[in-house]
A = this chain, B = another copy of it.
């Protein structure tokens, strides 16, 4: 029941891009340094974000990435769902996949469906802007007693 590093890194990168959107394009080198992540590993994850159209990449010197939309127009759910594959707690619930043959008499399928809904409802109502706002608020904690 864990979110993988892949999902967490993607989210942190998106937050980082939002926070530094005023400074033009952001390089992965900078993101990796600020977030203390492997740049090479980040490349793979961000490429996925780029192919899906969540971020826009520009090659060459002075190149880098930027968000494709405003932070308020991303939900955490869509970011995680993209890189994690699916937020479904069991495979039976995945859209494309075949459901198992015991679904018709399954004792637990309704419970999993409910859990899936609870998770997607929650994460689908948190925007990237919400996370950034909270990040800015928490940044002050370092100076609190």
Contact = CB atoms under 8 A, between A and B. Distances in A.
Contacts of A114: 122, 126
A104 B130 CA distance: 17
A12 B108 contact: yes
Contact of A105 (B86, B90, B108, B139): B139
Interface string A80-121: 100010111111000000000000111111111011001100
A131 interface: yes
A132 interface: yes
Which of A15, A88, A115, A132 neighbours the largest number of chain B CB atoms within 10 Å of its CB?
Answer: A115
Interface of A: 1-3, 7-8, 11-12, 15, 76, 80, 84, 86-91, 104-112, 114-115, 118-119, 122-123, 126, 130-132, 134-135, 138-139, 141-142
Contact of A3 (B1, B122, B123): B1
A89 B90 CA distance: 15
A3 B110 CA distance: 15
Given A115-B123, A123-B115, A1 B87 contact: yes
Contacts of A135: 105-108
B2 A89 contact: yes
A91 B11 CA distance: 16
Given A119-B119, A141-B105, A110 B88 contact: no
Contact of A132 (B107, B118, B134): B107
